[in-house]
Amino acid sequence: MSNAAHKMSAWLHEPVMLQEAGELLLANRPAIIVDVTVGAGGHAEALLEHSACNRLVGLDRDAHALAAAAERLARFGDRAVLRQADFAALDSILDELGIDQIDALLADLGMSSLALDDPARGFSFQSDGPLDMRMDQDQTLSARDLVNEETEAELTRIIRDYGEERHARRIARTIVAARRPRPIETTFQLRAIIERALGPRRIAGMHPATRTFQALRIAVNRELESLAALLVSGPARLAPGGRMVTLAYHSLEDRPVKESFRTLARSGGYVAITGKPMRPSTAEVARNSRARSARLRCLERGAQ
């Protein structure tokens, strides 16, 4: 698929739980909004359209996504400010922009459709491509490096801890054996190796390669380390009455968010607006299958 086609695909993709996130974030009429996972700009566009905010700061590690977002948000002029950055760098970006406190923060922790649907990025086992998985194409470490260079023990740990895969040791052992004659280079090669280890049949509706691909992506991009940093800097940057909304898609993301928000609420300085996570409607899941596992949580900083 061409870059232009990928951009159009991303634009047409429906942002997950757009109405629910928008209502929560815009309830207090924010002046400064930060979207730390701006992607192709779907959520950001709606937030700019339906608010009178002075500025929306959009962050993303993916230069391709940022280019699409810049085109999509161009009509908002200097109300939209985009930066290529890991959201772990939130503090430094806000300091650079001279922003002390923010009124709303959105973190959609799901994979960008722009990257996921591009075979050349190597995120998906559904199409053949290089074993890459880097959100930031300027970083050195790729999935190919992990698959071909890590020890069996480390591969087992990655697949077990980041994929929650109970057959992690068997998969790691099969990968190590398969790479001895020659390196593993492509997504289809890795998919075939995992199928060799577990069999090709779906397990509870899930392809046997799903968890391993998730694990490698998380490890390559240090996603959980970045999330841990955001859960410190994000709430601390909220102005009184400011809100932070997260969208998580698996327990490794949702669990630390839940625990962090609960701890902050117990401290007395914050309020968990969502006791239990909000889930997408049946109608939305029917329209957009990628919303199926989404869990939305919202935290508000108390008045000071």
Same domain, 159 and 233: no
Q: What is the pLDDT of residue 303?
A: 82
Q: What is the pLDDT of residue 218?
A: 97
CATH code, domain carrying 108: 3.40.50.150
In a domain, residue 119? The reply is no
Q: What is the pLDDT of residue 290?
A: 87
In a domain, residue 272? The reply is yes
Same domain, 32 and 79: yes
Same domain, 180 and 77: no
Same domain, 94 and 240: yes
In a domain, residue 240? The reply is yes
Which residue carries 């020659």 as its tokens?
182
Same domain, 267 and 201: no
Q: What is the pLDDT of residue 304?
A: 64
Same domain, 199 and 228: no
Is residue 142 within 8 A of residue 37, CB to CB? The reply is no
Which residues does the chain have with pLDDT short of 50? 1-12
Same domain, 9 and 88: yes
CATH code, domain carrying 154: 1.10.150.170
Which residue carries 């300085």 as its tokens?
269
Q: What is the pLDDT of residue 1?
A: 36
In a domain, residue 120? The reply is no
Domain boundary among the residues 190, 221, 252 is at 221
Residue environment code for 46-60, b if the CB has 16+ CB neighbours within 10 A, otherwise e: bbbeebebebbbbbb
Q: What is the pLDDT of residue 206?
A: 87
Is residue 185 within 8 A of residue 242, CB to CB? The reply is no
Give me the number of domains the chain comprises.
Answer: 2
- Dump pLDDT digits (tens) for 164-204: 999 999 999 999 999 999 999 999 999 999 999 999 887 77
Same domain, 107 and 238: yes
Nearest to 237 by CA among 80, 81, 99: 99
In a domain, residue 173? The reply is yes
What is the per-residue DSSP string for the chain? --HHHHHHHHHHSPPTTHHHHHHHHHTT--SEEEETT-TTSHHHHHHHHT---SEEEEEES-HHHHHHHHHHTGGGGGGEEEEE--GGGHHHHHHHTT---EEEEEEE-SPPHHHHT-GGG---TTS--BS---SSTTSS--HHHHHHHS-HHHHHHHHHHHH--TTHHHHHHHHHHHHTTS---BHHHHHHHHHHHH-SS-BTTB-TTHHHHHHHHHHHHTHHHHHHHHHHHHHHHEEEEEEEEEEE-SHHHHHHHHHHHHHHHHHTSEEES-SS-B---HHHHHH-GGGTT-EEEEEEEPP-
Three-state DSSP at 233 gives helix
Domain boundary among the residues 163, 189, 221 is at 221
In a domain, residue 65? The reply is yes
Same domain, 196 and 230: no
Rounded CA-CA distance 130/163 in Å is 20
Q: What is the pLDDT of residue 88?
A: 97
Same domain, 297 and 168: no
Largest CA distance in the chain: 64
Three-state DSSP at 262 gives helix
Q: What is the pLDDT of residue 3?
A: 46
- Dump pLDDT digits (tens) for 87-133: 999 999 999 999 999 999 999 998 888 888 899 999 999 999 999 99
Same domain, 217 and 250: no
In a domain, residue 82? The reply is yes
Domain hosting 275: range is: 3-114+223-301
Enumerate residues 6+ apart whose C-beta is below 8 A from 26: 47, 50, 51, 104
CA 163, chain centre distance (Å): 15
Q: What is the pLDDT of residue 204?
A: 74
In a domain, residue 121? The reply is no
Same domain, 138 and 203: yes
Rounded CA-CA distance 162/117 in Å is 22
Domain boundary among the residues 221, 239, 273 is at 221
Is residue 29 within 8 A of residue 223, CB to CB? The reply is no
